[in-house]
Amino acid sequence: MKEFIVKLLTLLGIAQAGNPLQEGQLAYLFSLKNHEGKTVNLSDYKGRWVVLYFYPKADTPGCTTQAKEYTKLMPEFEKLRVKVFGVSTDKVESIKKFREKYNLSVEFLSDPKGEVAKAYGVSVIAGFCSRDTVLINPDLRVEKVYRGVDPSADPKKVLEYINKTK
């Protein structure tokens, strides 16, 4: 049903669906501004696991829950040398305020046009990303793609997968 709705919204010009990624493909290398306005290059993380979790809008209930859950588990991610990025179409100022308001340790990235989201097969509907998570392995290949994730369960699910794989 969700696929049908996205296709319909795409036809109406309201949504832009990305192309589905296949696990094992080389990751899309990007440069985006983080919550401090500094440029982050994915290529700098070769040799480390990277989590890209895409979310619709900062400071909304689901997004706040997901960010708090990642923050709670951040010491475990860091112990495994996993870099976690929250990605949305929000502006740098918005993600900075969001991070500060809730004292979050996640590094947020601003993808204002949704170009990186679309490159990873994330649907962008009316300017908002769908809630998807992409796990990139140390070889900069897409290891796992989770579509339509539950914001409270996603961080733990990703951490469990990495723990099993390492």
pLDDT digits (tens, 9 = 90+) for 17-54: 555 667 899 999 999 999 999 999 999 999 999 999 99
d(CA 69, CA 149): 13
| Nearest alpha carbon to residue 133 among 70, 44, 48 | 70
Rounded to the nearest integer, the mean pLDDT of the chain is 90
Predicted confidence at residue 11, as pLDDT, reads 44
Q: What is the pTM of this model?
A: 0.88
Q: Which CATH architecture has domain 2-165?
A: 3-Layer(aba) Sandwich (3.40)
Q: What is the DSSP string of 124-140?
A: EETTEE--EEEEE-TTS
Structural domain boundaries in the chain = 2-165
Strand, coil or helix: what is 154?
A: helix
Predicted confidence at residue 125, as pLDDT, reads 87
Which residues does the annotation mark as catalytic? 63
Partner residues linked to 16 by β-bridges = 124
pLDDT in tens, 113-139: 999 998 998 988 888 999 999 999 999
Which residue type occupies 10?
T
